[in-house]
Chain A
Amino acid sequence: MAVLELDNITGGYGETEILHGVSLKVEAAAVTVIIGPNGAGKSTAMKAVFGLLRLSAGRVLLDGEDITSMATEQVVRHGVCYVPQTANIFPSLTVEENLEMGAYVRKDDYRPRMAEIYDLFPPLAEKRRQAAGTLSGGQRQMVAMGKALMLKPKILLVDEPTAGLSPKFRGEIFRVIQDINSAGVPILMVEQNAKQALSIADRAYVLVDGRNRLEDTGPGLLANREVAEMFLGAGGASVGAASGVNGSGAGSGAGSGANGA
Protein backbone atom coordinates (compact mmCIF):
# COMPACT_ATOMS: atom_id res chain seq x y z
CA MET A 1 0.00 0.00 0.00
CA ALA A 2 1.17 3.48 -0.74
CA VAL A 3 2.38 5.54 2.23
CA LEU A 4 0.96 8.68 0.73
CA GLU A 5 -1.57 8.99 -2.00
CA LEU A 6 -3.03 12.02 -3.74
CA ASP A 7 -6.27 11.01 -5.37
CA ASN A 8 -7.70 13.28 -8.06
CA ILE A 9 -6.71 16.52 -6.28
CA THR A 10 -8.45 19.57 -7.70
CA GLY A 11 -8.05 23.02 -6.17
CA GLY A 12 -5.89 26.09 -5.70
CA TYR A 13 -5.66 29.34 -3.80
CA GLY A 14 -8.64 31.65 -3.52
CA GLU A 15 -10.58 31.62 -6.77
CA THR A 16 -7.73 30.30 -8.89
CA GLU A 17 -7.71 26.60 -9.68
CA ILE A 18 -4.18 25.32 -10.10
CA LEU A 19 -4.57 21.56 -9.91
CA HIS A 20 -7.08 19.79 -12.12
CA GLY A 21 -7.22 16.23 -10.86
CA VAL A 22 -3.67 15.30 -9.90
CA SER A 23 -3.12 11.78 -8.65
CA LEU A 24 0.09 10.23 -7.40
CA LYS A 25 1.36 7.60 -5.03
CA VAL A 26 4.43 7.41 -2.84
CA GLU A 27 5.31 3.78 -2.12
CA ALA A 28 7.11 2.69 1.03
CA ALA A 29 10.90 2.99 0.80
CA ALA A 30 10.73 4.72 -2.59
CA VAL A 31 12.03 8.03 -3.88
CA THR A 32 9.21 9.62 -5.83
CA VAL A 33 9.95 12.66 -7.95
CA ILE A 34 7.63 15.24 -9.51
CA ILE A 35 8.99 17.21 -12.44
CA GLY A 36 7.29 19.67 -14.72
CA PRO A 37 7.60 23.16 -16.15
CA ASN A 38 7.19 26.29 -14.02
CA GLY A 39 3.62 26.80 -12.94
CA ALA A 40 2.67 23.18 -13.45
CA GLY A 41 1.47 22.93 -9.86
CA LYS A 42 4.30 20.79 -8.47
CA SER A 43 4.73 22.68 -5.21
CA THR A 44 1.01 23.26 -4.99
CA ALA A 45 0.45 19.50 -5.04
CA MET A 46 2.74 19.20 -2.01
CA LYS A 47 0.92 21.95 -0.18
CA ALA A 48 -2.34 20.09 -0.71
CA VAL A 49 -1.01 17.39 1.62
CA PHE A 50 -0.80 19.93 4.44
CA GLY A 51 -4.23 21.40 4.01
CA LEU A 52 -2.75 24.68 2.76
CA LEU A 53 -4.92 24.58 -0.33
CA ARG A 54 -8.58 25.10 -1.01
CA LEU A 55 -9.61 21.78 -2.51
CA SER A 56 -12.75 21.43 -4.58
CA ALA A 57 -12.28 17.70 -5.13
CA GLY A 58 -9.98 14.84 -4.32
CA ARG A 59 -8.51 13.12 -1.29
CA VAL A 60 -5.17 12.86 0.45
CA LEU A 61 -4.51 9.46 2.03
CA LEU A 62 -1.77 8.68 4.53
CA ASP A 63 -1.37 4.93 5.05
CA GLY A 64 -4.86 4.62 3.64
CA GLU A 65 -6.31 7.07 6.17
CA ASP A 66 -8.05 10.17 4.81
CA ILE A 67 -6.16 13.28 6.00
CA THR A 68 -7.65 15.67 3.43
CA SER A 69 -9.19 18.11 5.89
CA MET A 70 -6.69 17.68 8.72
CA ALA A 71 -5.06 20.79 10.23
CA THR A 72 -1.44 21.41 9.18
CA GLU A 73 -0.06 20.79 12.67
CA GLN A 74 -1.91 17.47 12.89
CA VAL A 75 -0.52 16.30 9.55
CA VAL A 76 2.98 16.96 10.90
CA ARG A 77 2.10 15.10 14.10
CA HIS A 78 1.18 12.13 11.91
CA GLY A 79 4.76 12.01 10.69
CA VAL A 80 4.58 13.89 7.39
CA CYS A 81 7.47 16.35 7.27
CA TYR A 82 7.99 19.04 4.69
CA VAL A 83 10.99 21.05 3.54
CA PRO A 84 9.65 24.06 1.61
CA GLN A 85 11.73 25.53 -1.19
CA THR A 86 12.18 28.95 0.39
CA ALA A 87 11.83 30.27 3.92
CA ASN A 88 12.47 26.76 5.19
CA ILE A 89 14.48 27.67 8.29
CA PHE A 90 14.00 30.05 11.21
CA PRO A 91 16.83 32.50 10.48
CA SER A 92 17.01 34.16 13.89
CA LEU A 93 17.18 30.86 15.74
CA THR A 94 20.47 29.01 16.11
CA VAL A 95 21.07 25.81 14.16
CA GLU A 96 20.43 23.79 17.31
CA GLU A 97 17.22 25.69 18.08
CA ASN A 98 16.01 25.02 14.54
CA LEU A 99 16.52 21.31 15.12
CA GLU A 100 14.75 21.56 18.48
CA MET A 101 11.77 23.17 16.76
CA GLY A 102 11.79 20.28 14.29
CA ALA A 103 11.25 18.03 17.31
CA TYR A 104 8.52 20.28 18.72
CA VAL A 105 5.80 17.64 18.63
CA ARG A 106 8.03 15.00 20.22
CA LYS A 107 7.52 14.43 23.92
CA ASP A 108 10.43 12.03 24.37
CA ASP A 109 14.17 12.76 24.46
CA TYR A 110 15.24 13.97 21.04
CA ARG A 111 18.95 14.34 21.88
CA PRO A 112 20.02 11.02 20.30
CA ARG A 113 18.20 11.98 17.12
CA MET A 114 19.94 15.35 17.11
CA ALA A 115 23.31 13.57 17.33
CA GLU A 116 22.32 11.47 14.29
CA ILE A 117 21.43 14.63 12.36
CA TYR A 118 24.82 16.14 13.21
CA ASP A 119 26.44 12.93 11.94
CA LEU A 120 24.49 13.23 8.71
CA PHE A 121 25.45 16.92 8.30
CA PRO A 122 28.85 17.42 9.95
CA PRO A 123 29.08 21.15 9.03
CA LEU A 124 26.02 21.82 11.21
CA ALA A 125 27.65 20.37 14.31
CA GLU A 126 30.37 23.03 14.15
CA LYS A 127 27.83 25.82 13.74
CA ARG A 128 25.23 24.63 16.21
CA ARG A 129 25.32 27.85 18.23
CA GLN A 130 25.22 30.12 15.19
CA ALA A 131 22.07 31.83 13.93
CA ALA A 132 20.83 29.75 10.99
CA GLY A 133 20.25 32.90 8.93
CA THR A 134 24.00 33.54 8.80
CA LEU A 135 24.80 30.24 7.07
CA SER A 136 25.47 29.66 3.37
CA GLY A 137 22.70 28.47 1.05
CA GLY A 138 23.85 24.85 1.11
CA GLN A 139 24.14 24.79 4.89
CA ARG A 140 20.71 26.36 5.28
CA GLN A 141 19.33 23.55 3.16
CA MET A 142 21.00 21.10 5.54
CA VAL A 143 19.37 22.84 8.50
CA ALA A 144 16.00 22.65 6.75
CA MET A 145 16.39 18.94 6.04
CA GLY A 146 17.80 18.21 9.48
CA LYS A 147 14.90 20.05 11.06
CA ALA A 148 12.40 17.97 9.09
CA LEU A 149 14.20 14.74 10.01
CA MET A 150 14.09 15.39 13.77
CA LEU A 151 10.68 13.71 13.88
CA LYS A 152 11.84 10.46 12.25
CA PRO A 153 9.16 11.16 9.66
CA LYS A 154 6.93 8.56 8.13
CA ILE A 155 7.49 10.37 4.85
CA LEU A 156 9.58 13.38 3.84
CA LEU A 157 8.40 15.94 1.29
CA VAL A 158 11.13 18.08 -0.24
CA ASP A 159 10.43 21.04 -2.52
CA GLU A 160 13.27 21.86 -4.93
CA PRO A 161 16.10 21.26 -2.49
CA THR A 162 18.80 22.27 -4.95
CA ALA A 163 17.31 25.53 -6.26
CA GLY A 164 19.98 28.20 -6.29
CA LEU A 165 22.74 25.90 -5.07
CA SER A 166 26.10 25.40 -6.75
CA PRO A 167 26.66 22.07 -8.58
CA LYS A 168 28.90 20.86 -5.76
CA PHE A 169 26.18 21.35 -3.14
CA ARG A 170 23.56 19.96 -5.52
CA GLY A 171 25.38 16.63 -5.66
CA GLU A 172 25.70 16.61 -1.91
CA ILE A 173 21.99 17.27 -1.35
CA PHE A 174 21.06 14.45 -3.74
CA ARG A 175 23.46 12.15 -1.94
CA VAL A 176 21.89 13.06 1.42
CA ILE A 177 18.40 12.45 0.06
CA GLN A 178 19.48 8.99 -1.04
CA ASP A 179 21.02 8.38 2.39
CA ILE A 180 17.80 9.42 4.11
CA ASN A 181 15.84 7.16 1.82
CA SER A 182 18.10 4.17 2.36
CA ALA A 183 17.52 4.66 6.09
CA GLY A 184 13.92 3.76 5.31
CA VAL A 185 12.20 7.11 4.82
CA PRO A 186 10.02 7.38 1.71
CA ILE A 187 10.60 10.63 -0.14
CA LEU A 188 8.46 12.82 -2.35
CA MET A 189 10.57 15.44 -4.09
CA VAL A 190 9.78 18.25 -6.48
CA GLU A 191 12.83 19.11 -8.54
CA GLN A 192 13.73 21.43 -11.41
CA ASN A 193 16.98 19.64 -11.93
CA ALA A 194 15.23 16.86 -13.83
CA LYS A 195 18.19 14.81 -14.99
CA GLN A 196 19.74 14.30 -11.55
CA ALA A 197 16.39 13.90 -9.85
CA LEU A 198 15.16 11.24 -12.27
CA SER A 199 18.40 9.35 -11.91
CA ILE A 200 17.65 8.68 -8.24
CA ALA A 201 13.88 8.27 -8.64
CA ASP A 202 12.13 4.96 -8.17
CA ARG A 203 8.95 6.52 -9.44
CA ALA A 204 8.48 9.81 -11.27
CA TYR A 205 5.57 11.93 -12.39
CA VAL A 206 5.45 14.71 -14.94
CA LEU A 207 2.88 17.40 -14.23
CA VAL A 208 1.85 19.91 -16.87
CA ASP A 209 -0.76 22.63 -16.32
CA GLY A 210 -1.99 21.04 -13.11
CA ARG A 211 -2.59 17.62 -14.71
CA ASN A 212 -0.74 14.30 -14.74
CA ARG A 213 1.10 14.03 -18.04
CA LEU A 214 3.47 11.09 -17.69
CA GLU A 215 4.32 8.50 -15.08
CA ASP A 216 7.12 5.93 -15.07
CA THR A 217 10.21 4.79 -13.24
CA GLY A 218 12.98 7.41 -13.06
CA PRO A 219 15.16 5.74 -15.72
CA GLY A 220 12.04 5.16 -17.80
CA LEU A 221 11.27 8.87 -17.91
CA LEU A 222 14.93 9.70 -18.52
CA ALA A 223 14.72 7.63 -21.66
CA ASN A 224 11.44 9.17 -22.71
CA ARG A 225 11.65 11.35 -25.82
CA GLU A 226 9.00 13.82 -24.65
CA VAL A 227 10.73 14.32 -21.29
CA ALA A 228 14.03 14.81 -23.05
CA GLU A 229 12.55 17.55 -25.20
CA MET A 230 10.73 19.24 -22.33
CA PHE A 231 13.30 19.20 -19.56
CA LEU A 232 16.65 17.88 -20.56
CA GLY A 233 17.32 20.57 -23.12
CA ALA A 234 18.18 17.94 -25.72
CA GLY A 235 15.76 17.98 -28.62
CA GLY A 236 15.43 14.38 -29.71
CA ALA A 237 18.58 13.32 -27.88
CA SER A 238 16.92 10.68 -25.81
CA VAL A 239 19.98 8.46 -26.00
CA GLY A 240 22.13 11.26 -24.61
CA ALA A 241 19.66 11.80 -21.83
CA ALA A 242 19.66 8.19 -20.81
CA SER A 243 23.42 8.03 -20.72
CA GLY A 244 23.77 11.34 -18.93
CA VAL A 245 22.60 9.95 -15.64
CA ASN A 246 25.71 10.93 -13.77
CA GLY A 247 26.02 14.33 -15.44
CA SER A 248 25.84 17.51 -13.45
CA GLY A 249 22.50 18.39 -14.92
CA ALA A 250 23.87 21.33 -16.84
CA GLY A 251 21.43 22.77 -19.30
CA SER A 252 18.44 21.24 -17.61
CA GLY A 253 17.18 24.63 -16.61
CA ALA A 254 17.92 24.02 -12.95
CA GLY A 255 19.14 27.48 -12.09
CA SER A 256 15.90 29.09 -11.05
CA GLY A 257 17.88 32.05 -9.76
CA ALA A 258 16.54 31.74 -6.24
CA ASN A 259 19.16 32.43 -3.65
CA GLY A 260 17.77 30.01 -1.16
CA ALA A 261 16.43 32.83 1.02
Chain B
Amino acid sequence: MMDFINFHLMPGIILGSIYALGGIGISMTFGILRFANFAHGETMTLGAYFAFTLIQLTGWHPIAVLPFAMILTAVVALGIDRVFYKPFRARPAIMLVIASFGMMLMIRSAIQFSWGVQLKSLMPGIQRPYILFDALRISPKHMLIIGSALVLMLAVHVLLSRTKIGKAMRAMADSPELARLTGIDTEMVIRATWVVGASLAAAAGVLLAIDTHVETMMGFKLLLPVFAAAILGGIGRPYGAMAGGLIIGIAEELSSYAWIGNEPLLAPGYKAGVAFAIMVAMLIWRPSGLFRGKVF
Protein backbone atom coordinates (compact mmCIF):
# COMPACT_ATOMS: atom_id res chain seq x y z
CA MET B 1 0.00 0.00 0.00
CA MET B 2 2.73 2.52 0.95
CA ASP B 3 4.64 1.51 -2.15
CA PHE B 4 1.59 2.46 -4.16
CA ILE B 5 1.50 5.89 -2.55
CA ASN B 6 5.24 6.55 -2.48
CA PHE B 7 6.21 5.29 -5.89
CA HIS B 8 3.09 5.82 -7.97
CA LEU B 9 0.56 8.22 -6.47
CA MET B 10 3.04 10.85 -5.24
CA PRO B 11 5.06 10.93 -8.47
CA GLY B 12 1.72 11.14 -10.28
CA ILE B 13 0.68 14.18 -8.28
CA ILE B 14 4.08 15.81 -8.85
CA LEU B 15 4.04 15.18 -12.57
CA GLY B 16 0.36 16.13 -12.68
CA SER B 17 0.94 19.52 -11.08
CA ILE B 18 3.64 20.24 -13.67
CA TYR B 19 1.24 19.22 -16.48
CA ALA B 20 -1.45 21.37 -14.90
CA LEU B 21 0.73 24.49 -15.06
CA GLY B 22 1.59 23.80 -18.68
CA GLY B 23 -2.00 22.93 -19.54
CA ILE B 24 -3.40 26.26 -18.36
CA GLY B 25 -1.34 28.12 -20.97
CA ILE B 26 -2.22 25.74 -23.81
CA SER B 27 -5.88 25.87 -22.93
CA MET B 28 -6.05 29.65 -22.63
CA THR B 29 -4.09 30.29 -25.83
CA PHE B 30 -6.43 27.92 -27.60
CA GLY B 31 -9.52 29.51 -26.06
CA ILE B 32 -8.55 33.14 -26.53
CA LEU B 33 -6.32 33.18 -29.63
CA ARG B 34 -8.06 30.17 -31.17
CA PHE B 35 -5.02 28.17 -32.17
CA ALA B 36 -3.04 25.19 -30.89
CA ASN B 37 0.32 26.58 -29.82
CA PHE B 38 2.96 24.00 -30.65
CA ALA B 39 5.69 26.26 -29.30
CA HIS B 40 4.30 25.95 -25.77
CA GLY B 41 6.65 23.04 -24.97
CA GLU B 42 9.66 25.09 -26.03
CA THR B 43 8.40 27.94 -23.85
CA MET B 44 8.70 25.56 -20.90
CA THR B 45 12.22 24.58 -21.95
CA LEU B 46 13.18 28.23 -22.27
CA GLY B 47 11.96 28.94 -18.73
CA ALA B 48 14.16 26.12 -17.37
CA TYR B 49 17.23 27.46 -19.22
CA PHE B 50 16.59 30.99 -17.98
CA ALA B 51 16.45 29.59 -14.44
CA PHE B 52 19.71 27.67 -15.06
CA THR B 53 21.52 30.83 -16.17
CA LEU B 54 20.06 32.90 -13.33
CA ILE B 55 21.28 30.31 -10.82
CA GLN B 56 24.73 30.39 -12.44
CA LEU B 57 24.79 34.16 -12.13
CA THR B 58 23.38 34.58 -8.63
CA GLY B 59 23.90 31.26 -6.89
CA TRP B 60 20.34 31.48 -5.56
CA HIS B 61 17.97 28.62 -4.92
CA PRO B 62 15.91 27.55 -7.98
CA ILE B 63 12.67 28.65 -6.30
CA ALA B 64 14.18 32.09 -5.68
CA VAL B 65 15.02 32.57 -9.35
CA LEU B 66 11.69 31.10 -10.50
CA PRO B 67 9.80 34.46 -10.57
CA PHE B 68 12.58 36.03 -12.65
CA ALA B 69 12.65 33.12 -15.08
CA MET B 70 8.87 33.50 -15.43
CA ILE B 71 9.18 37.23 -16.16
CA LEU B 72 11.94 36.72 -18.75
CA THR B 73 9.93 34.01 -20.50
CA ALA B 74 6.81 36.18 -20.52
CA VAL B 75 8.78 39.04 -22.10
CA VAL B 76 10.07 36.70 -24.82
CA ALA B 77 6.53 35.43 -25.44
CA LEU B 78 5.21 38.99 -25.80
CA GLY B 79 7.97 39.76 -28.28
CA ILE B 80 7.23 36.63 -30.29
CA ASP B 81 3.52 37.48 -30.35
CA ARG B 82 4.20 41.00 -31.55
CA VAL B 83 6.61 39.97 -34.30
CA PHE B 84 5.37 36.56 -35.45
CA TYR B 85 1.76 35.94 -34.44
CA LYS B 86 0.11 39.37 -34.55
CA PRO B 87 0.47 39.73 -38.35
CA PHE B 88 -1.46 36.45 -38.70
CA ARG B 89 -4.25 37.43 -36.30
CA ALA B 90 -6.84 38.14 -38.99
CA ARG B 91 -5.83 35.09 -41.06
CA PRO B 92 -7.20 31.53 -40.80
CA ALA B 93 -6.15 29.81 -37.56
CA ILE B 94 -4.22 27.11 -39.40
CA MET B 95 -1.62 29.72 -40.33
CA LEU B 96 -1.05 30.48 -36.66
CA VAL B 97 -0.73 26.77 -35.92
CA ILE B 98 1.92 26.38 -38.61
CA ALA B 99 3.64 29.58 -37.46
CA SER B 100 3.77 28.19 -33.93
CA PHE B 101 5.26 24.96 -35.29
CA GLY B 102 8.01 26.98 -36.93
CA MET B 103 8.44 28.96 -33.73
CA MET B 104 8.84 25.69 -31.81
CA LEU B 105 11.77 24.69 -34.03
CA MET B 106 13.28 28.16 -33.88
CA ILE B 107 13.17 28.43 -30.08
CA ARG B 108 14.60 24.92 -29.70
CA SER B 109 17.47 25.67 -32.09
CA ALA B 110 18.13 28.98 -30.39
CA ILE B 111 18.34 27.18 -27.03
CA GLN B 112 20.67 24.50 -28.42
CA PHE B 113 22.79 27.20 -29.98
CA SER B 114 22.99 29.33 -26.84
CA TRP B 115 23.26 26.73 -24.09
CA GLY B 116 24.51 23.60 -25.88
CA VAL B 117 22.87 20.21 -25.85
CA GLN B 118 24.40 18.64 -22.71
CA LEU B 119 22.22 17.77 -19.72
CA LYS B 120 22.32 20.36 -16.96
CA SER B 121 21.05 20.26 -13.42
CA LEU B 122 19.33 22.93 -11.34
CA MET B 123 19.74 21.16 -7.99
CA PRO B 124 22.82 18.99 -7.93
CA GLY B 125 23.21 16.26 -5.32
CA ILE B 126 20.87 13.70 -3.87
CA GLN B 127 18.36 14.67 -1.23
CA ARG B 128 17.22 12.39 1.54
CA PRO B 129 13.45 12.16 1.57
CA TYR B 130 11.50 13.12 4.65
CA ILE B 131 9.74 10.17 6.15
CA LEU B 132 6.35 11.08 7.52
CA PHE B 133 4.30 8.80 9.79
CA ASP B 134 7.04 6.16 9.45
CA ALA B 135 5.93 5.34 5.93
CA LEU B 136 5.18 8.29 3.67
CA ARG B 137 8.34 9.28 1.84
CA ILE B 138 8.60 12.66 0.21
CA SER B 139 11.75 14.49 -0.74
CA PRO B 140 12.15 18.22 -0.03
CA LYS B 141 12.30 19.09 -3.71
CA HIS B 142 9.01 17.32 -4.33
CA MET B 143 7.39 19.30 -1.56
CA LEU B 144 8.75 22.44 -3.19
CA ILE B 145 7.32 21.42 -6.56
CA ILE B 146 3.85 20.66 -5.22
CA GLY B 147 3.89 23.76 -3.02
CA SER B 148 4.97 26.08 -5.85
CA ALA B 149 2.41 24.60 -8.23
CA LEU B 150 -0.34 25.08 -5.65
CA VAL B 151 0.65 28.71 -5.02
CA LEU B 152 0.71 29.42 -8.77
CA MET B 153 -2.64 27.76 -9.39
CA LEU B 154 -4.13 29.76 -6.53
CA ALA B 155 -2.68 32.92 -8.08
CA VAL B 156 -4.29 32.01 -11.42
CA HIS B 157 -7.58 31.47 -9.65
CA VAL B 158 -7.40 34.89 -7.99
CA LEU B 159 -6.47 36.49 -11.31
CA LEU B 160 -9.32 34.86 -13.22
CA SER B 161 -12.04 35.34 -10.64
CA ARG B 162 -11.16 38.62 -8.94
CA THR B 163 -9.50 40.90 -11.47
CA LYS B 164 -11.00 42.76 -14.40
CA ILE B 165 -8.40 41.50 -16.87
CA GLY B 166 -8.84 37.92 -15.62
CA LYS B 167 -12.59 38.08 -16.12
CA ALA B 168 -12.04 39.60 -19.56
CA MET B 169 -9.77 36.65 -20.38
CA ARG B 170 -12.52 34.20 -19.46
CA ALA B 171 -15.02 36.28 -21.41
CA MET B 172 -12.85 36.24 -24.50
CA ALA B 173 -12.33 32.49 -24.18
CA ASP B 174 -16.13 32.19 -24.25
CA SER B 175 -16.57 34.35 -27.34
CA PRO B 176 -13.91 36.57 -28.94
CA GLU B 177 -16.45 38.33 -31.16
CA LEU B 178 -18.78 39.21 -28.31
CA ALA B 179 -15.76 40.40 -26.30
CA ARG B 180 -14.98 42.86 -29.10
CA LEU B 181 -18.63 43.94 -29.32
CA THR B 182 -18.61 44.53 -25.57
CA GLY B 183 -15.73 46.98 -25.91
CA ILE B 184 -13.15 44.72 -24.27
CA ASP B 185 -9.63 45.66 -25.32
CA THR B 186 -8.92 42.34 -26.99
CA GLU B 187 -5.27 43.06 -27.82
CA MET B 188 -4.66 43.73 -24.16
CA VAL B 189 -6.39 40.47 -23.22
CA ILE B 190 -4.20 38.66 -25.75
CA ARG B 191 -1.06 40.13 -24.20
CA ALA B 192 -2.27 39.16 -20.74
CA THR B 193 -2.87 35.63 -22.02
CA TRP B 194 0.69 35.37 -23.29
CA VAL B 195 2.05 36.67 -19.99
CA VAL B 196 0.02 34.18 -17.95
CA GLY B 197 0.53 31.25 -20.32
CA ALA B 198 4.26 31.79 -20.81
CA SER B 199 5.07 32.44 -17.18
CA LEU B 200 3.19 29.33 -16.07
CA ALA B 201 4.93 27.36 -18.82
CA ALA B 202 8.28 28.65 -17.53
CA ALA B 203 7.27 27.55 -14.03
CA ALA B 204 6.35 24.10 -15.33
CA GLY B 205 9.74 23.86 -17.04
CA VAL B 206 11.64 24.96 -13.94
CA LEU B 207 9.71 22.59 -11.66
CA LEU B 208 10.32 19.70 -14.04
CA ALA B 209 13.99 20.64 -14.17
CA ILE B 210 14.13 20.63 -10.35
CA ASP B 211 12.66 17.14 -10.40
CA THR B 212 14.86 15.85 -13.23
CA HIS B 213 17.30 17.97 -15.19
CA VAL B 214 17.50 20.62 -17.90
CA GLU B 215 17.72 19.46 -21.50
CA THR B 216 16.67 20.87 -24.83
CA MET B 217 13.91 18.33 -25.55
CA MET B 218 12.27 18.49 -22.12
CA GLY B 219 9.45 20.82 -23.15
CA PHE B 220 8.70 18.98 -26.35
CA LYS B 221 8.27 15.77 -24.37
CA LEU B 222 5.78 17.61 -22.15
CA LEU B 223 3.78 18.94 -25.08
CA LEU B 224 1.69 15.82 -25.65
CA PRO B 225 0.59 15.23 -22.03
CA VAL B 226 -0.04 18.95 -21.65
CA PHE B 227 -2.28 18.98 -24.73
CA ALA B 228 -4.02 15.91 -23.35
CA ALA B 229 -4.58 17.78 -20.06
CA ALA B 230 -6.06 20.79 -21.87
CA ILE B 231 -8.38 18.63 -23.95
CA LEU B 232 -9.40 16.54 -20.96
CA GLY B 233 -10.34 19.67 -19.05
CA GLY B 234 -12.09 21.29 -22.01
CA ILE B 235 -10.33 23.75 -24.28
CA GLY B 236 -10.41 27.32 -23.00
CA ARG B 237 -11.15 26.24 -19.42
CA PRO B 238 -8.18 26.95 -17.16
CA TYR B 239 -9.67 25.14 -14.17
CA GLY B 240 -10.37 22.17 -16.40
CA ALA B 241 -6.73 22.18 -17.51
CA MET B 242 -5.58 22.07 -13.89
CA ALA B 243 -7.80 19.06 -13.17
CA GLY B 244 -6.87 17.48 -16.50
CA GLY B 245 -3.15 17.87 -15.77
CA LEU B 246 -3.46 16.14 -12.42
CA ILE B 247 -5.54 13.33 -13.91
CA ILE B 248 -3.08 12.73 -16.78
CA GLY B 249 -0.07 12.81 -14.44
CA ILE B 250 -1.61 10.39 -11.99
CA ALA B 251 -2.92 8.12 -14.78
CA GLU B 252 0.55 7.92 -16.33
CA GLU B 253 2.17 6.92 -13.06
CA LEU B 254 -0.56 4.53 -11.98
CA SER B 255 -0.37 2.74 -15.32
CA SER B 256 2.90 1.15 -14.26
CA TYR B 257 1.59 -0.07 -10.88
CA ALA B 258 1.34 -3.81 -10.43
CA TRP B 259 -2.45 -3.87 -10.42
CA ILE B 260 -2.56 -7.53 -11.46
CA GLY B 261 0.11 -9.92 -10.12
CA ASN B 262 3.61 -8.61 -9.49
CA GLU B 263 4.44 -7.12 -12.87
CA PRO B 264 3.74 -3.49 -13.80
CA LEU B 265 0.45 -3.27 -15.67
CA LEU B 266 2.23 -1.29 -18.35
CA ALA B 267 6.01 -1.11 -18.77
CA PRO B 268 7.09 2.37 -17.55
CA GLY B 269 8.44 3.10 -21.03
CA TYR B 270 4.88 3.29 -22.31
CA LYS B 271 3.77 5.96 -19.83
CA ALA B 272 3.63 8.63 -22.53
CA GLY B 273 1.21 6.41 -24.43
CA VAL B 274 -1.30 6.75 -21.61
CA ALA B 275 -1.66 10.49 -22.15
CA PHE B 276 -1.98 9.89 -25.87
CA ALA B 277 -4.63 7.22 -25.38
CA ILE B 278 -6.63 9.47 -23.04
CA MET B 279 -6.40 12.35 -25.51
CA VAL B 280 -7.58 10.24 -28.44
CA ALA B 281 -10.42 8.74 -26.40
CA MET B 282 -11.53 12.21 -25.29
CA LEU B 283 -11.45 13.57 -28.83
CA ILE B 284 -13.62 10.69 -30.01
CA TRP B 285 -16.16 10.55 -27.19
CA ARG B 286 -16.09 13.87 -25.35
CA PRO B 287 -14.34 16.47 -27.46
CA SER B 288 -15.73 19.28 -25.32
CA GLY B 289 -13.93 17.97 -22.26
CA LEU B 290 -14.57 15.99 -19.14
CA PHE B 291 -16.62 18.76 -17.55
CA ARG B 292 -18.93 19.35 -20.49
CA GLY B 293 -22.07 21.14 -19.42
CA LYS B 294 -20.50 22.38 -16.22
CA VAL B 295 -19.29 25.90 -16.55
CA PHE B 296 -16.32 27.18 -14.64
Measuring CB to CB, which residues of chain A are less than 8 angstroms from any residue of chain B?
50, 72-73, 76-77, 82, 84, 87-93, 97, 100-102, 104-105, 131, 133-134, 147, 151
Contacts and interface: CB of A to CB of B under 8 A. Distances in A.
Nearest to B31: A92
A114 to B, nearest CB: 14
Contacts of B174: 90-93
18 contacts: A50-B181, A73-B180, A73-B186, A84-B181, A91-B174, A92-B174, A92-B237, A92-B295, A92-B296, A97-B167, A97-B171, A100-B167, A101-B168, A101-B171, A101-B179, A131-B295, A134-B295, A147-B182
B108 interface: no
Nearest to B173: A92
Nearest to A72: B180
Nearest to A132: B295
Contacts, number: 62
B128 interface: no
Contacts of A89: 178
B295 A133 contact: yes
B185 interface: yes
A82 B181 contact: yes
Given A88-B178, A92-B237, A133-B295, A73 B171 contact: no
Contacts of A84: 178, 181
Given A100-B164, A131-B295, A93 B170 contact: yes
B36 to A, nearest CB: 20
Listed from nearest, the 5 A-B pairs whose CB atoms lie closest are A76-B183, A105-B183, A131-B295, A90-B174, A92-B295
B175 A90 contact: yes
Nearest to A73: B183
Interface residues of B, number: 21
Contact of B183 (A88, A93, A104, A134): A104
Given A100-B164, A134-B295, A87 B183 contact: no
Contact of A101 (B167, B186, B296): B167
Given A90-B170, A101-B168, 17 more contacts: A73-B185, A76-B182, A76-B183, A84-B181, A88-B178, A90-B171, A90-B174, A91-B174, A92-B237, A93-B170, A100-B164, A101-B179, A101-B184, A104-B182, A104-B184, A105-B183, A147-B182
Interface string B162-204: 0010011011011101111111111000000000000000000
Contacts of A87: 175, 177-178
Nearest to A50: B181
A76 B184 CA distance: 9
A90 B178 contact: yes
